[in-house]
Structures are given as C-alpha cells and as structure tokens.
Amino acid sequence: MRVLHTSDWHLGRSFHGAGLLDDQRTFIDWLVPLVAAQGIDLTVIAGDIFDRAVPPVDAVQLWQGALERLSAIAPVLVIAGNHDSATRLGFAGSLLDRAGVHLRTDRDSIAEPVIVRGRDDVEVAAYGIPYLEPDLHREAFGVERSHAAVLEAAMDLVRADLADRPGLRSLVAAHAFITGAGEARQSDSERDLRVGGVGDAPASVLAGVDYAALGHLHGAQTLTAPGDVLAHYSGSPVAFSFSEESHSKAVTIVDIPVRGPVTTTLVPVPVPRPLVTLTGRLEDLLADPDLAQHSGSWVRVRLTDPRRPAEAMARLRERWPYAVELTFESATVTPDTDAVRATAMSDPLQIAEAFVEHVTATPASDEEVALLQTSVEAVRISAMRSNEATR
C-alpha cells in the first residue's frame, strides 16, 4: 500500500508581511497530480492546515478545493495541529467521512481508524491523534501534566483498538514534538509547545504501529523509535522563516508491504522563491556580480559595515526586490540591536527574556526566567480556553 504524508501547510501565513497563498496554491497544484501519478492509496495531512484558528476566507477556499481534488483520487486523513481550531476544522466531519475525507480533530475519534485497502490488497488501519494540549486533556485521560503522558494515553487507545484487528498493518498520524535519540531539529517558525518547560515527548510513546506520520516540525526528518516503528516528519512544503534556509522541502511517499519494513521516499517540492542570507559590507554586496542570481529570492542581509549605511534597505531592494530582513553585525553598530533581535524572535518567552536583558543590561536570572515562563504559559492557556469557549 502506498501513502503520501505531508503536513504543516499553514494556509494563510505570511512571510515578513508578504502573503504566501500563491506559493501554497502552487504546491497544491503540484501535489494533486503527484498523488494520481504515484498510485497513492491514502493521503495523510498531519496537522497545522491553517496558520491560525480563524483563517482568512481565501485560505479556507484553497483548503476546500484541495480536499475536493485529493479525495477524488484517494481517501484523505486529516488531523488538527496546534495552530488549527479543532472545532472549525472538524466541522461536518461525519458528512465529509462519506466523501472520503476523514477528519480527526478531537480526543473521541482517536480510536476510530480509517481502514484502507491498497491496490496491492495490503490493508492498513490509519489512526489520527490531533494536537492534544495537556492542560485541556490530562484530566480526561487521568494523567499528569505533560505532553508525554497525554500522548502515551492517546496511543494506549490506538494500541487497544489495534489489538482487535489482527493481520492489519498500521499507521498513526500525530501532531507533536517527538524526540528520538535527540535528533529532532526545530526551526524558528514553529510555535512553542512547552508545558512546565517540557514540550516534547519521547519516540517510545509511538510503539505498536508500523509508521508514525508526524507533523509540527518544519524540516523533513526521521527519528529513531523503539521496535520496528518508522517515525518521520514530512516537514512543511513552504519555508516560513530563514531558519529553514537549509531545508530541502519535500513530501513523503510511504510504502507499506504485507509484512516487513516500511520504506519512505522523499519527493522534493518545487520552491517558488528560495531563501538566501547575504553577509558583508553594503557596497561590496551591491557590486558583486555573482549575487545577481538572487534577484528572485527571499533575501536576508547581515551588514558588517563599521558604520550603519544610510538608506541601506532601500538600496538593497533596488537590487533584490524581495529583501525582507536586515541586521547589522558590526560590534560598533549598537543602536536598536536589541529591538532588531527581538523582532526576529517568534517565541514569547525569548522575547520576554530579551526585554529583561535590554532593560537590565544583564541576562535574566534563573528565577526571572521561571517567572516569565509561568506568565507566558498562563497567558497561552487562557487564550486557548477563551478561543474554545467562543467557538
């Protein structure tokens, strides 16, 4: 049986203020014929369909069109990620189920597999574990406040159901920060999942299935999991920060035989606009003929001039229209350094720590970091509860 695994589309997201919907539409237009050409039996989208709980209308329309086209080829399994509204994404789930679109957005559907028979007659039970915020689900599961405990409880439901289905191969789609022997690599564009300072869960929680289709981390990577579990992040199809500059964006094709090891193949995704970082003095960069090749790239510039050049960004954009980030690396250029650094951060805790360092001229102490972390988590959990209460 052949599965296509993708995740973290983040429809509706922008890159330094520039909308990415056209790039995301280009990806979908490329993906649909790939699913048809590769004989895919099941498409798995492992969370973060949208970039925020209330997505813009054009993002919802793009999602609707993608589901219509993909489900016309093969069944589609979708789980909610930490950026998605589980209620909105799961709307009309029972109706969509009849159309071959299987939404797994809440705790109650975890033990309800999609049973798919491949074109080679291999039968697979496909489960979906949406993002589970420990503070919202630990009491229902009767476990401690941690991602590891909540995911273990969710996988216990999967394993219990699978025990009644002898002979079936299995996969689980999950949206979480899973670590295997410390290999998992994060990027700046992923929202922090920390609870009590711990936002990850060990790969051992995935034991009992043949393949784990993971979402949340934006770089494609395979983790070491106990037993014969192949755990893999497909990564996002589009880059959302310069920390992803080295990523090779791809979707994953998963081949599941009747017996024996599961294998994966990465299929590179076309990159409409690559990322590049240019470092040097302004005049040197502007005069370098080899850098003309980056005129169509997203460009980050780190200037090393001993004095800050006048109108630097305007001059850079004359040559590189998509220059979107500028920092000054020279030790003699100190104004606004802390503000520039904070602007580039996406983690609220890091921003708070940077503010403390800015006003005190010393890094935050361990006690101050603990207080900041408690405050950030309280605000995040309060916002999630408020969102759920208004849906």
Q: Please, which pLDDT band fits residue 181 given cuts at 50, 70 and 90?
A: very low
By the 8 A CB rule, do 252 and 232 touch? yes
Residue type, 118: G
User: Does pLDDT of 376 surpass 60?
Assistant: yes
Q: What are the tens digits of pLDDT across the range 84-114?
A: 999 999 998 889 999 999 999 999 999 999 9
% residues pLDDT > 90 (the chain): 71
Query: Helix count (H) and strand count (E) of the chain?
Result: 11, 19
| CA 76 remoteness from chain centre | 18
User: What is the reported pLDDT for 285?
Assistant: 97
By the 8 A CB rule, do 224 and 205 touch? no
- Radius of gyration, CA atoms only, the chain: 22
By the 8 A CB rule, do 172 and 127 touch? yes
Of 1-5, 143-147, 264-268, minimum mean pLDDT range = 143-147
3-state secondary structure of 105: coil
Q: What are the tens digits of pLDDT across the range 157-174?
A: 999 999 999 989 999 999
User: What is the reported pLDDT for 182?
Assistant: 43
By the 8 A CB rule, do 243 and 223 touch? no
Measured CA to CA, the distance from residue 113 to residue 124 in angstroms comes to: 9
> Residue 378 is encoded by which pair of tokens?
């309280």
User: What is the reported pLDDT for 187?
Assistant: 66
By the 8 A CB rule, do 215 and 7 touch? yes
User: Does pLDDT of 221 surpass 60?
Assistant: yes
Of 74-83, 130-139, 243-252, 373-382, minimum mean pLDDT range = 373-382
Q: Which residues fall within 8 angstroms of residue 54, CB to CB, at 6 or more apart?
A: 85, 88
By the 8 A CB rule, do 173 and 77 touch? yes
Measured CA to CA, the distance from residue 319 to residue 295 in angstroms comes to: 7
% residues pLDDT > 70 (the chain): 88
Give me the residue spans of the domains in the chain. 2-268, 275-380
User: Does pLDDT of 208 surpass 90?
Assistant: yes
The residue among 17, 16, 20, 344 whose CA lies nearest residue 8 is 20
Superfamily in which the 2-268 domain is placed by CATH? Metallo-dependent phosphatases (3.60.21.10)
Q: What are the tens digits of pLDDT across the range 338-353?
A: 555 555 666 888 888 8
Count of Cβ atoms closer than 10 Å to residue 77 Cβ: 25
- Calculate the dihedral angle through the C-alpha atoms of 305, 308, 314, 320, rounding to the nearest 10 degrees: 20
DSSP character string of 28-60: HHHHHHHHHHTT-SEEEEES--BSSSS--HHHH
User: Does pLDDT of 330 surpass 80?
Assistant: no
Please, what is the average pLDDT of the chain? Answer: 89
Q: Taking residues 29-46, report their average pLDDT.
A: 98
- In order of 122, 175, 233, the CA distances from 217 in angstroms are 29, 9, 7
Q: Please, which pLDDT band fits residue 200 given cuts at 50, 70 and 90?
A: confident
Q: What are the tens digits of pLDDT across the range 358-367?
A: 655 568 888 8
Measured CA to CA, the distance from residue 77 to residue 89 in angstroms comes to: 12
Q: Please, which pLDDT band fits residue 250 given cuts at 50, 70 and 90?
A: very high
Count of Cβ atoms closer than 10 Å to residue 128 Cβ: 29
User: Does pLDDT of 329 surpass 70?
Assistant: yes
Measured CA to CA, the distance from residue 270 to residue 250 in angstroms comes to: 8
User: What is the reported pLDDT for 244?
Assistant: 92
User: Does pLDDT of 334 surpass 60?
Assistant: no
By the 8 A CB rule, do 118 and 41 touch? yes
User: What is the reported pLDDT for 197?
Assistant: 45
- Quote the DSSP letter at residue 142: T
Residue type, 31: L
Q: Taking residues 306-311, report their average pLDDT.
A: 90
By the 8 A CB rule, do 250 and 265 touch? no
Q: Going by DSSP bridges, is the β-strand pair 76-79/42-46 parallel, antiparallel, or unpaired?
A: parallel
- In order of 22, 133, 286, 290, 327, the CA distances from 303 in angstroms are 31, 41, 11, 17, 6
Q: Taking residues 69-93, report their average pLDDT.
A: 95
User: What is the reported pLDDT for 385?
Assistant: 76
Q: Angle at the Cα of 185 (from 137 to 151), degrees rounded to 5?
A: 20
Measured CA to CA, the distance from residue 99 to residue 74 in angstroms comes to: 10
Torsion sign over Cα 4, 172, 263, 167: negative
Tokens 């020279």 locate to 330
Q: Which residues fall within 8 angstroms of residue 269, CB to CB, at 6 or more apart?
A: 27, 30, 237, 238, 249, 250, 251
Count of Cβ atoms closer than 10 Å to residue 22 Cβ: 12
